[in-house]
Amino acid sequence: MIPPQFDYHAPGSLDEALGLLGSLDDPKVMSGGQSLLPMLKLRLASPANIVDIGRIPGLDTLAEEDGFLRIGALVTETQLEQSALVALAYPILLDTAKVIADPLVRNRATICGNIAHGDPANDHPATMLALGAQLVATGPDGARTIDIDDFFFGLFMTLLGEDEILTEIRIPAPAPASGGAYVKLERKVGDYAVAGSAVQLSLARDGTVASAGIGLTNLGITPIRATAAEDALTGQAPGDDTIAAAAQAAADATEPIPDRRGSIEYKQNMARVLTARAIRKALARAGG
Amino acid sequence: MATHNINVTVNGEAHAAAVDSRLLLVHLIRDDLALTGTHIGCDTTHCGACTVLMDGVPVKSCTVLAVQADGAEIGTVEGLAGADGMTPLQEGFQEEHGLQCGFCTPGMLMTGTALLESNPNPSEAEIREAISGNLCRCTGYVNIVKAVEYAAAKTGEGD
């Protein structure tokens, strides 16, 4: 299949890229292209201009700094998978990267692209909700920080302006006695989730849950934060009843669309099951 | 629409080409350079038949623009066998009956080549993970895994 016609631009600096976004007709930012190019080939997207940010230096930071894990716009899923820091301190990110598409796609796909695409079936949004990530959007007037909770507002709709680039994700470094996990149900390797649940929590000294973040994948038209489920865990000793109540609250927060991956009832039940599993895995990693 | 002048090195040979923005890397390789060993299977980023090495990294060439490969070193199946004959991995596919229809084989070979480069002695689980983006519809995975193991063992003998 052949993509529709477009013009292609490969700016060598962020300023040049922002200038192009401000002056070109109907521009679209591309990083790894692993979501955009298939959409072009299927004629689901047809931008007049593609601005490939892949050759801009300085957008490939993957490091902890000032209390945040910084993930630059060009960091690939494979880089995330190979990071010792991520494996040690952010296992939920490793869980997530491992179940996205397949290793060949992950060699080019970027984490920031996974967020900026605005697809509720993508996996990183739920994880970033659980982690309380901040998104750095750089535009003609400089950079602004967007809370992940404010970012997604509709199917493939985000707060990112047409003249802005998602240049960085900032994840607060986890507190002591923290753990997280992402659990996804997929029909086959590389498929979009039937359902997915991301849980990041920290434990107080007495073993109760000090804080909890829970995000859900492909269970509504946007990624979902399961606030009631978080509340059901926070301040509680995480026993079987508490976990079951939180998992049910997560299922109740979903509005899945029935399709080939399952009915509403099935997906909601899977949201419950996967959230319980993710909580247990996160607790084990937190040392609880 | 604009064309772009690009330079790519394919299997060690430098090529200059004027490409349309929307030309896919796989079409540059197959149609312009007439290297038809790289196959097009699903054309939707699923099957991996079009896998090539881009600066040593296996990628699906149906999901990369040719213009994105400007300045890159591309490796295709035609570049594997040299004056000394087949690579240990190609030999492994022959010895272990790693193909039936052969359509997925070029992609499997490129992914397997990259795997062995970064991990000369992979476990069965690591091989299966590495080839999880390459689909074989003859369901020949058992022998494909054996072929990679054969190559790892043969290469290890020389150490």
- Tell me: the pLDDT tens digits for A26-66? 999 999 999 999 999 999 999 999 999 999 999 999 999 99
**Chain A contact for B58, CB < 8 A?**
yes
In a domain, A218, yes or no: yes
Nearest CA in chain B to A38: B44
- The residues spanned by each domain of chain B are 3-79, 88-157
Can you give the residue range of the structural domain that contains A144?
66-171
Domain match, A106 and A148 both: yes
How much is the average pLDDT of A127-151? Answer: 98
CB pairs under 8 A between A and B: 83
pLDDT cut 70: percent of chain B above it? 98
In a domain, A60, yes or no: no
Q: pLDDT of A171-223, one tens digit each?
A: 999 999 999 999 999 998 889 999 999 999 999 999 999 999 999 999 999 99
Tell which B residues from 65 to 124 touch A, by Cβ distance under 8 Å: 65, 67-68, 70, 111
- The distance from CA A33 to its chain's CA centroid, rounded to whole angstroms, is 16
pLDDT of residue B28: 98
- For residue A157, what are the CA distances in angstroms to A13, A171, A281, B54? 26, 22, 32, 32
At the topology level, CATH places domain B88-157 in: DNA polymerase; domain 1 (1.10.150)
Q: Which helix (H) or strand (E) holds A69?
A: strand A68-72
- The helix/strand/coil state of B21 is coil
Backbone angles phi, psi at B59, to 5 degrees: -140, 160
Where residue A227 sits, what CATH number does that domain have?
3.30.390.50
Query: Which residues from A are below 8 Å from B62, CB to CB?
Result: 41
d(CA B78, CA A234): 59
Where residue A99 sits, what CATH number does that domain have?
3.30.465.10
Domain match, A144 and A225 both: no
Selection from B83, B81, B82 nearest residue B93 by Cα: B81
Nearest CA in chain A to B133: A102
Helix pair angle (A264-286, A240-252), 10° resolution: 140
- For residue B20, what are the CA distances in angstroms to A6, B8, B75? 9, 15, 22
| Interface ipTM | 0.96
Where residue A21 sits, what CATH number does that domain have?
3.30.43
Class of domain B3-79: alpha beta
Total number of domains constituting chain A: 3
In a domain, A59, yes or no: no
Helix pair angle (B105-118, B88-95), 10° resolution: 130
